[in-house]
Structure 1
Amino acid sequence: MQAGSPNTRQSSSPASKGGSARRRTPRSRNRAPQSPSAPKPSLFDQVGVTAVDPAPFDQLGLPKALVGELTKAGLTEAFPIQAATIPDALAGSDVLGRARTGSGKTLAFGLPMLADLHGTSARPLHPRALVLVPTRELATQVTDSLKPMAKALGLYVREIVGGMSFARQADMLRRGVDLVVATPGRLNDHVRQGTCVLSAVERTALDEADQMADMGFLPQIRELLNHVPAGGQRLLFSATLDGDVDRLVREYMSDPVVHSLTPSAASVDSMDHHQLDIAAEDKHDVLARIAARDGRTILFVRTKHNADRLTRKLRSVGVHAGALHGGKAQNARTRILEEFRRGSTTALVATNVAARGIHVDDVSLVVHVEPPADPKDYLHRAGRTARAGATGTVVTLVTDDQRRAFRAMAGKAGVKPTATKVSPQGANLARLTGAREPSGVAVVEPKAETNRNPGSGGTRRGNPRGRTGAPRNGGGPRGEAKRGEAKRGARRA
């Protein structure tokens, strides 16, 4: 196994591609024997933290057209994860990378993929590169980031996700797409119906691989990777290498160059973490005052029902709040996220959908309305603030009966929150969060959102053209939630 370093990056160049010689074979032959009872260190643990000096994009071996487009966007110097991984990816190596959320991973895998595709075009139904992501919102974010770069090279990047017209996506694939950004469930639908063929895919990237494993996507990812030629390049980015992700690495990557830019707990360093001890009866008043603060705030809840209920309560007291969860139609999710980005909605009430790779600039406060049970959930949610070198604050509302469990979870997450007792009108709450009294003037509720997604229902059988009719299980968020939870499970993304 080789480990990437700044010294080896200088010799990497696009001319040294070696993807055609790559085989999908386990790498256990390179590992020292271990006692069955000894814990197996991950590849990230084995290589330690990669030290990377800043590097201008024009020194990484990228095509001039790409460098020019980056310069137009105000990007001249690569982030550490980009400086570490781009030359190795351009050289044709499989790359396994870890970096904190908001560190620039999209361009780290996207730029070398586009550079390698430059000069040729895709056949109908046969994309040449593939990026797999856990959620629709992250697919949109990745697509939007790469489209200007692709256009500079005469390439086409498109997203393939659930909740959008299957027929339109099939049409798009028939016209030819160079790089597809997809969620596993919807892409599998296209592969099974013959509207997407993966036999020409030369490069595959998996972004947020550990999150896809947590969401139950691993069987679908394996099914897709089994359709991709074995000799292709694999780029995999993950915060952790738990069992399922480690198996993906062993089965589908060949001697990857490993770059670990940050240890697993390092993403919490640029945030202030607070445990707000509250009385249970004060909780809703505390939340209303926090949500009424200046600045963008994300409030995380456990269920879709809780997200909708809290949003209604906040709007009733004058807070411009919106709910984001998997039970909403894709057009509603897109609209709510765009309103949050623009600032017309200042408080986003979300389930873990928004913790999975969503990037919105200037989120200054993340609120755990209930303490998460899983340290991974805490870190994913917290990562919505303090992105790309910024700082932020993370607070968790904790009642007496939750205190012990929260402290244990925080310890596993590598977090030492400062505990402070707060009350709705108390100075401590205002000091730590910027909380203030809401206006009391109810915000008008938006018109009822239909959850009919034209053309999205025929992705399995009997409706290959995406014909629409009355939504099954009824319209509205409840009907969509039933379809998403009961019939598609992890496929809903």
Structure 2
Amino acid sequence: MPSSTTPERSRRPRKRRSQAQPQQVKRSLFDQAGVTAVDPAPFADLGLPNRLVSALHDNGLTEAFPIQAATIPDALTGRDVLGRGQTGSGKTLAFGLPLLALQTEQARPLHPRALVLVPTRELATQVTDSLKPMAKALGRYVREVVGGTSFNRQVETLRRGVDVLVATPGRLADHVRQGTCVLSEVERTALDEADQMADMGFLPQVRQLLDLVPADGQRLLFSATLDGDVDKLVERYMTEPVVHSLAPPAASVDSMDHHQFLVQATEKQAVLAQIGSREGRTIMFVRTKHHADRLAKKLRAVGVAAGALHGGKAQNARTRILDEFKSGETTTLVATNVAARGIHIDDVSLVVHVEPPADPKDYLHRAGRTARAGATGTVVTLVTEEQRQDFRTMAKQAGVETTTSEIRPLAPELVEVTGAREPSGTPQPQPQRTQQQRKPAQTRNRRPSGGSAANGQQGNGRTANRGSSGRGGNARNQRRRNPQR
């Protein structure tokens, strides 16, 4: 008891607290639950409605991945579910199918019945595209609201009624403030990639939005880690969640080969051009949008079909670049972290860190673009001599063991690991669509009125570029505050 504690005893709790501090992470619900051992199972055995199972079958999906087999039955009971699975493990359907299956009433205008919060525009689009075919089978509507696209068109969509709304926090907060989206009838909420939203600074907005959702609603939260603010979200908004942890945060590194290539700065560009000329899809990660544009331009100049993806591009341009990469029109994607935060592209066999990432989380997120859904992949980091010690420290923190090689252009190790080859030398033209998109954007910015013609063909891009007019000022200020825009 505190009143009878002696000086000797008063020291013991201090020692115990200091000794327990390093073990604080063990309080994570993921770690308490341990790794859930679940085998794949037929969707028909999970308790989903027959129409939903038929729609899945029509789309070539008959067997659920382990994360889906583990979480869907619990979610269908109405329980809060907390799930962790490595990238590409099938989390979208793990939370999306219960949101569709449990909805019994049509949504009223401006009042969605289910909400999915995601960190990036690209992930919102991918979640929406994945759920639309299943929603159609049930007569439900899944739509997205994200930054960089027409606000007014989103208002029109919300007025027609949206059963499952997929949103980035910043744009949804805009709609809530304008009264064009009301969250008082949301029955179920899913948070995807919650740890990424924490890293990108969205959790204050997420908390504000969740405070507007009825407290007795169901919550489904998927995250790689439960540190910091994510753990606070669980404590504040989830009630006795069922926990399924199918992989520790760094588990996906086991299905990848990790290589550290020591390279001379003067030979780095030649090495990148040879890697970009390989067969198969390659993602090269850089730190800044200017570096992404510059490297893509240099690669195209020597014959590599490359495209640059970063947050400085309009949403229609980002969508086009991703479509070209998925279709094989371009084989090398040069990207900033926007592509590591939630972009899901199959058959990426090689990830290249053009510069070593400083944060181990960034390394793991970027590396996770390969070796998806049980496949294998290769991750290469180009390291100069002065970066060697920092990379060693970061790799240790990420739990990654790398094979180190000193390489030069077309060195045997380079060719063996990446499939590098000499580029054709025939310049790849800049896509004409990009040039056409830039011209009207420049013209619009010179119109002092913001351009009433902005209601024409390319409304999405026009809404995003009204920064010089009073009407577009709010969107411009929101972009400054919200990094995903």
2:450 is the counterpart of 1:450? no
The amino acid across from 1:489 in the alignment is R
Residues in 2 aligned to 1:451 and 1:251: alpha-carbon distance in whole angstroms: 48
Alpha-carbon deviation of 1:45?
Answer: 1.1
- 1:316 match: 301
Aligned partners of 1:128 and 1:178 also within 8 Å: yes
Judged with a 3 Å threshold, the aligned counterparts in structure 2 of structure 1 residues 169 and 81 are, in CA distance, closer, same or farther, namely: same
Secondary structure at 2:102's aligned position in 1? Answer: helix
State whether structure 2 residue 67 is matched by structure 1 residue 81.
yes
CA distance in 1, matches of 2:46, 2:16: 41
The TM-score normalised by the length of structure 2 is: 0.88
Whole-Å separation in 2 of the counterparts to 1:159 and 1:491: 18
Aligned equivalents of 2:138 and 2:392: distance in 1?
A: 51
2:237 to 252, 275, 279: 252
Partner of 1:288: 273
Are the aligned partners of 2:314 and 2:464 in contact in 1 as well (CA < 8 Å)? Answer: no
Evaluate the alpha carbon distance shift between residue 451 and residue 88 of structure 1 in structure 2; reply closer, same or farther with a 3 A threshold.
farther
Say if 1:207 and 1:238, in contact at 8 Å, map to a contact too.
Answer: yes
Match for 1:376: what amino acid? Answer: K
Inter-CA distance 395–487: structure 2 relative to 1 (3 Å threshold) = same
Question: 1:8 is matched with which residue?
Answer: none
The yes-or-no answer on 1:65 pairing with 2:65 is no
Aligned equivalents of 2:53, 2:384: Cα separation in 1: 52
Instruction: Give yes or no for contact 2:84–2:244 (8 Å, CA) kept in 1.
Output: yes
1:401 — aligned with what?
Answer: 386
Corresponding letter in the other structure for 2:376? T
Which of 21, 34, 42 lines up with 1:56 in the alignment? Answer: 42
Distance in 1 between the 2:183 and 2:78 partners? 19
- 1:488 matched to which residue of 2? 480
The CA distance in 1 between the partners of 2:400 and 2:464, in whole Å, is 49
Equivalence for 2:157: 172
Residue 320 of structure 2 aligns with which residue? 335
Rounded Cα–Cα distance in structure 2 between residues aligned with 1:472 and 1:231: 40
1:382-435: CA deviation from partner (whole Å, max 9, x where unpaired): 000010111110000011001111011011111001001110121111111000
Q: Deviations over 1:332-378 (max 9, x none)?
A: 00000000000000000000010011111110000000000000000
Q: Tell me what 2:259 maps to.
A: 274
- Give secondary structure in 2 for the equivalent of 1:357: coil
Contact 1:132–1:183 (CA under 8 A) maintained in structure 2: yes
Given that 1:327 and 1:484 are in contact with CA atoms closer than 8 Å, whether structure 2 keeps it comes out as no
How far has the Cα of 1:55 moved from its partner? 1.6
Partner of 1:391: 376
| Structure 1 residues 180 and 254, CA gap change in structure 2 (3 angstroms) | same
Change (3 A) 1:57 1:364: same
Please state whether the residue corresponding to 1:331 is helix, strand or coil: helix
Q: Deviations over 1:229-264 (max 9, x none)?
A: 000000000000111100101111111111110012
Q: How does 1:208-223 map to 2 (within 5 A)?
A: 208-223=193-208
Structure 1: distance between partners of 2:39 and 2:278: 39
State the one-letter code of the partner of 1:179.
Answer: V
Measured against aligned partners, the alpha-carbon deviations of 1:157-192 in whole angstroms (never above 9, x if no partner) come to 001101111001000100100000000000000000
- Structure 1 unpaired stretches of 5+: 1-33
Matches within 5 A, 1:90-489: 90-117=76-103, 119-447=104-432, 448=435, 449-450=437-438, 471=465, 487-489=479-481
Greater Cα offset, 236-245 or 34-43: 34-43
Identify which of structures 1 and 2 has the higher relative contact order when contacts are C-alpha pairs closer than 8 Å and 6+ apart.
1
| 1:320–1:347 CA contact under 8 A, matched in 2 | yes
Are the structure 2 counterparts of residues 485 and 359 from structure 1 closer, same or farther at C-alpha, using a change threshold of 3 Å? Answer: farther
1:298-354 alpha-carbon deviations (Å, 9 max, x no partner): 000000000000011001101100000000000000000000000000000000010
Mark the CA change 1:338 to 1:367 in structure 2 (over 3 Å): closer, same or farther.
same
| Stretches of structure 2 lacking an aligned partner (at least 5 in a row) | 1-14, 456-461
Q: Which letter does structure 1 place at the counterpart of 2:243?
A: V
Determine what percentage of the aligned residue pairs are the same residue: 71
Indicate if the aligned counterparts of 2:107 and 2:163 stay in contact, CA closer than 8 A. yes
Taking the aligned partners of 1:52 and 1:359, their CA distance within structure 2 comes to 23
Q: In the alignment, residue 322 of structure 1 is paired with which amino acid?
A: G
- SS of the residue corresponding to residue 450 of structure 1 reads helix
Deviations 1:107-133 (A, max 9, x none): 00000110001x420001000000000
**AA partner of residue 256 (structure 1):** P
Q: Is the Cα contact below 8 Å between 1:139 and 1:181 reproduced in 2?
A: yes
Equivalent-residue separation in structure 1 for 2:476 and 2:403 (angstroms): 38
Contact between 2:150 and 2:464, CA under 8 Å: does it hold in 1?
A: no
> Distance between the aligned counterparts of 1:428 and 1:470, measured in 2?
46
The farther-off stretch of 39-48 and 356-365 is 39-48
Residue of structure 2 in register with 1:45 after alignment? 31
DSSP 3-state at the match of 2:369: coil
TM-score under structure 1 length normalisation: 0.87
Larger fraction in helix? 2
After superposition, the Cα gap between the structure-2 partners of 1:263 and 1:302, relative to the gap in structure 1 and judged at 3 Å, is same
Q: State the one-letter code of the partner of 1:209.
A: A
Q: CA separation in 1, counterparts of 2:17 and 2:410?
A: 57
CA distance in 1, matches of 2:403, 2:244: 32
The alpha-carbon distance between structure 1 residues 45 and 294, as it changes in their structure 2 partners (threshold 3 A), is same
Q: Measure how far apart 1:270 and its partner are.
A: 0.7
Q: For residues 425 and 51 of structure 2, what CA distance do their matches in structure 1 show?
A: 53
Cα-Cα RMSD: 2.5
Sort the Cα spacing of 1:35 and 1:75 in 2 relative to 1 into closer, same or farther, 3 A. farther
Q: Cα offset for 1:491?
A: 5.2
Aligned residue-pair number: 447
What secondary structure is seen at the aligned counterpart in 1 of 2:79? coil
